[in-house]
């Protein structure tokens, strides 16, 4: 299995632009998570899905952030409009069942100037 696949690996954009991050979970995994990692705040859970349904989005910082999972093999995290404080590494992870190991993608390093 190729593991969790994220794209792009790096994204540099200007403040105010829309950013879309993409994730393909491991086939058969029914949980998908979006995490954000910064030096100041560590690894923060933004939102997670179970069987394509958003379960908990309490970590989404603002209405500028939205996430979708239209099918079992694809999810997006969108930031519109982006701001410099959104600069971080965004990880997608998937797992097979509850209380199972998380498998992380390689992350997307977002820089908003």
Partner 1 sequence: GENVEQHPSTLSVQEGDSAVIKCTYSDSASNYFPWYKQELGKRPQLIIDIRSNVGEKKDQRIAVTLNKTAKHFSLHITETQPEDSAVYFCAAPTGFQKLVFGTGTRLLVSP
Rule CB under 8 A: say whether 5 interacts with partner 1.
Answer: no
Q: Binding to partner 1 by residue 101, rule CB under 8 A?
A: yes
Q: Report if residue 104 touches partner 1, rule: CB under 8 A.
A: yes
Report whether the peptide linkage leading into residue 8 is cis, meaning its omega lies within 30 degrees of zero.
yes
Binding part of the chain for partner 1, among 16-24, 60-68, 79-87, 97-105 by CB under 8 A, reads 97-105
Binding mask 41-60 for partner 1 (x = CB under 8 A): -xx-x--x-x----xx----
Name the nearest CA neighbour of 54 among 46, 62, 64: 46
Cα–Cα separations (whole angstroms), residue 70 to 1, 13, 34, 51, 53: 22, 25, 15, 10, 9
107 binds partner 1 (CB under 8 A): yes
Q: Is the peptide bond before 12 cis (omega within 30 degrees of 0)?
A: no
> Of the two residues 2 and 98, which places its CB atom closer to partner 1 in the complex?
98
Contact 12, 111 (CB under 8 A): yes
Binding residues (CB under 8 A) for partner 1: these are 31, 33, 42-43, 45, 48, 50, 55-56, 91, 95, 98-99, 101-107
């Amino acid at each position: 299995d190729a593991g969790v696949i994220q794209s792009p690996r790096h994204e540099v954009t200007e403040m105010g632009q829309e950013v879309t991050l993409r994730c393909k979970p491991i086939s058969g995994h029914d949980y998908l998570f979006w995490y954000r990692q910064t030096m100041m705040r560590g690894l923060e859970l933004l939102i997670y899905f179970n069987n394509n349904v958003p379960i908990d989005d309490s970590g989404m910082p603002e209405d500028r952030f939205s996430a979708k999972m239209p099918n079992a093999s694809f999810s997006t995290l969108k930031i519109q409009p982006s701001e410099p404080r959104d600069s971080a590494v965004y990880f997608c992870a998937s797992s097979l069942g509850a209380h199972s190991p998380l498998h992380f993608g390689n992350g997307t390093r977002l820089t908003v100037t």
